[in-house]
Structure 1
Amino acid sequence: MRINRILAIGALGLLVIILAYGMWLAQAPKAQRLQGQIEAREYNISSKVPGRVEQVMVRRGDQVSSGDLLFAINSPELNAKLMQAQGGRDAAQAMMQEADNGARKQQVMASKEQWLKAQAAATLAKTTYQRVEALFNEGVLARQKRDEAYTQWQAAQYTEQAAYAMYQMTEEGAREETKAAAAGNALMAEGAVNEVSAILADSQMRAPMSGEVSEVLLQRGELAPSGFPVVSIIDMQDAWAVFHVREDQLKDFKLGQQVELTIPALGEQVVFEVAHISVMGQFATWRSTESGHDFDMRTFEMELRPSQPIAGLRVGMSAMLAL
């Protein structure tokens, strides 16, 4: 009987202890956990050149390095525009060279010969006038003949001066303004060629950063509009965790603060650093912990970046944060 009483008292004491521990657990504050997800930098590679996809060099899951060729677009219209621009450039450069070089040697020689011819004619006209003047003074010729000879002499002098001016202009070449205009036209034509060449170069799209190909949206032979992404690349070296934190929990986080996150998919705990807290809240309704004091709260987006690269990390993985 005494043993049974001892056992009963022991069982009762154990029951009291279990009930007390259960009441303590029920009243003890529960640890709060926040769930976020992993994000990473994504690049959508598109071309300014509309046309058909000529070749796609990558597939989903391929690892690419910066500068690797991803795809090429064929645009016959741009090739034709390039030919037109190159033709205009060549013509403008030829006009500029013509202005810089001035008149040809044959043109300068012909101009000089015209001046010498006019000079000889003026000398003859002067001699003729002097003879007619002498005969007029002796009374042999009429005044009309003397005036005609004088007029022919003056006209020959003016012709000589005009021929000499043409010779000087031919020898000097084009004016500085004409040279500047020709140089400007050549520069404008060169700019047109560079513009079309730059657009054509954009038809051969290369990876801007290293990463993994996440999507290939167009295949060979399909029409690619201007600006439409053909290949998407995700750079997991530039990854972060995104959490949405209630405003009453923001006091627990500061910029630069290091926290430990659990990534269930990897079974690891990794140290992250608070890199950004949104300055603008998003609306969401939460129930207050105190009955009768409910109010609407806002959530703020918070970004945390890993302190070191994480092997096997993927976009969309869950990240758990214990408060």
Structure 2
Amino acid sequence: MKRYVEIGFIAALVVVLGIWLGVSFYKAYRPAPQMLQGQIQAKQYSVSSKLAGRVGSILVKRGDMVKKGDLIFTINSPEVEAKLQQAQAGYEAAKALSEEAHKGARAETIISARDIYQSAKAMRELTEKTYKRTQELYDNGVVSLQRRDEAFTAFENAKYSENTALQQYKIALDGASKETKIAAKQKEIAAAGQVSEVEAYIHDMQAYAPATAEVSNILIQEGELSPSGFPVVMLVDNRQAWLNLSVSEEYLPYFKLGSEFSAYLPALRKHVRFKVRYVSAMGDFATWRATSSSKGYDLRSFEIEAQPLDALDELRVGFSAIVEIESLAKNSAPAR
């Protein structure tokens, strides 16, 4: 009896061992599930300044949530502030001359116009000498082309100012005619326009958030030079996120425009439903797969963008998403 028990035990052990080996071989040699891996992306904004200068202060840090219209950073530009003073002074002078032209020339007006002309002439002579010296230094390789151009521009402006002052002086001597009064008024308007232009530049020294978003990066720190139009602060709106996939053309039937599918997000440890909103019109020739001996043709990749069906505040740029092809074949929903 004991012998039969031992034989039965051995037989049962052999059966169990055979089943275990069979299951192990099945798991080891069964085909791996086909999967596609994508990445979450979101709408990004670059906050830059139209005005070149040094970054004065950055009022945000990475991770901050900002609202549309919030002040992000400021630009320091003493040159623009000086230009504003010049423009305001020019406007006041043009306004005064316009008023005098309408009132008629007085002895004081003539003296004032003469003094302005003499001042402009002296400035022209000074800038001319400065330009000639700078030109000589530039020819000897001492100063840069930028410095030479600045001196030349100052000289040209001084000549125009001198000519303007001379004409105003002549007007004061000859008395204002109807045409002169019109010209003086237009000069006042032009000077006011220059003030408005510089004030617009002053406004651009402050950069504001274009939308409600999160600060994702700061590219230029306080005190550093910022070129015109260069992004200083980057914003990302995770509420406007989508999934980007590179799909081989053999799987394109599962990703028709408007179709829905499920993807697993390891960072959230859950499946999320997405809806295809974009399929690239042309295959990406840079990611083509070499011809296989079994299929005999090349397979190219297409870019797919899919939007989550439900709003998820926890979605962030860079999250991975896994899509199983087998589940697509079984559970892909038709377009709606």
Q: TM-score when scaled to structure 1?
A: 0.66
- Cα 1:24–1:71 change in 2 (3 A) is closer
Contact 1:102–1:174 under 8 Å retained in 2: no
Contact 1:287–1:294 under 8 Å retained in 2: no
Which shows bigger deviation, 10-19 or 58-67? 10-19
Instruction: Identify the match of residue 286 of structure 1 among 281, 284, 289.
Output: 289
Whether 1:73 and 2:75 are equivalent positions in the alignment is: yes
- Cα 1:95–1:280 change in 2 (3 A) is farther
Contact 1:265–1:318 under 8 Å retained in 2: yes
Whether 1:33 and 2:35 are equivalent positions in the alignment is: yes
SS in structure 2 of the partner of residue 250 of structure 1: helix
- Map residues 252-267 of structure 1 onto 2, 5 A cutoff: 252-267=254-269
- Cα 1:102–1:316 change in 2 (3 A) is same
Deviations 1:164-205 (A, max 9, x none): xxxxxx9xx853x55554444333323222222112211111
Partner residue, 2:93: 91
Partner residue, 1:162: none
Which shows bigger deviation, 56-65 or 185-194? 185-194
- Cα 1:104–1:9 change in 2 (3 A) is closer
CA distance in 2, matches of 1:307, 1:174: 74
Shift of 1:95: 4.3
Partner amino acid for 2:216? S
Contact 1:255–1:276 under 8 Å retained in 2: yes
Shift of 1:296: 2.7
Contact 2:277–2:307 under 8 Å retained in 1: yes
Partner amino acid for 2:277? A
Instruction: Identify the match of residue 205 of structure 1 among 204, 207, 214.
Output: 207
Shift of 1:34: 0.8
Partner residue, 2:187: 185
Instruction: Identify the match of residue 319 of structure 1 among 321, 325, 332.
Output: 321
Q: Count residues with an aligned counterpart.
A: 254
Contact 2:91–2:192 under 8 Å retained in 1: yes
- Map residues 204-283 of structure 1 onto 2, 5 A cutoff: 204-283=206-285
Partner amino acid for 1:298? R
SS in structure 2 of the partner of residue 192 of structure 1: helix
Partner amino acid for 1:258? E
Percent identity for Structure 1 against Structure 2: 42
Partner residue, 1:46: 48
Shift of 1:305: 1.6
- Cα 1:11–1:59 change in 2 (3 A) is same
- Cα 1:182–1:62 change in 2 (3 A) is same
- Cα 1:308–1:182 change in 2 (3 A) is farther
SS in structure 1 of the partner of residue 215 of structure 2: strand
Shift of 1:213: 1.4
Contact 2:239–2:313 under 8 Å retained in 1: no
CA distance in 2, matches of 1:73, 1:94: 33
CA distance in 2, matches of 1:11, 1:52: 81
CA distance in 1, matches of 2:296, 2:65: 51
Whether 1:59 and 2:61 are equivalent positions in the alignment is: yes
Shift of 1:18: 8.0
Partner amino acid for 2:231? P
Q: TM-score when scaled to structure 2?
A: 0.63
SS in structure 2 of the partner of residue 87 of structure 1: helix
Which blocks of at least 5 consecutive residues in structure 1 are unaligned? Answer: 106-169
Contact 1:57–1:71 under 8 Å retained in 2: yes
Partner amino acid for 1:185? K
User: Where does structure 1 differ by over 4 angstroms across 4 or more consecutive aligned residues?
Assistant: 1-27, 95-99, 101-105, 177-180
Shift of 1:79: 0.5
Q: CA RMSD in A?
A: 3.6
Shift of 1:243: 0.6
CA distance in 1, matches of 2:57, 2:20: 75
CA distance in 2, matches of 1:237, 1:185: 52
Partner amino acid for 1:91? A
SS in structure 2 of the partner of residue 72 of structure 1: strand
CA distance in 2, matches of 1:219, 1:84: 30
Shift of 1:67: 1.4
- Cα 1:5–1:210 change in 2 (3 A) is same
